[in-house]
Structure 1
Amino acid sequence: MKIEILGSGCAKCNKTKKFVEEAVAQAGVDAEIVKVENMDDIIAYGVLITPAVVIDGDVKIVGRVPKVDEVIEWITQ
């Protein structure tokens, strides 16, 4: 599983990455977590507001920090 955190490195983007890492650890899922900061790559997903989370190419959330429970739900389905 590949999880991408889209964002420039702002506080919300860093918090999103932290929450995703916590969710992966709690769920015991094997996942590659990648921080994407290049705006061209972010826009390629159709994302104009960060932070955003992409799981295996599927945009899950845009413009807000997800809760750890939300991320666990996405990665365990």
Structure 2
Amino acid sequence: MATTEYRVTGMTCGHCEMSVREEVELIAGVEDIRVSAQTGELVITSAAELDDAVVLAAVTEAGYSAVRA
């Protein structure tokens, strides 16, 4: 198991959280996602280490920006 944390900018509400969650769920190996518009945190638990570029692309697809924390 691997846990990775990212800082997401631009989220303001529950709909924003849902958009990010829906995109990140599509990444192979993702087992759990915690996302908070209030804190700007995205925490992903996965079977193995994820490629940051893939995660960042998913967040961008949802309409937001992120960096690894």
TM tier, shorter chain? Answer: 0.3 to 0.5
| Larger helix fraction of residues | 1
TM-score by length of 1: 0.32
Q: Which has the higher strand share?
A: 2
TM-score when scaled to structure 2? 0.34
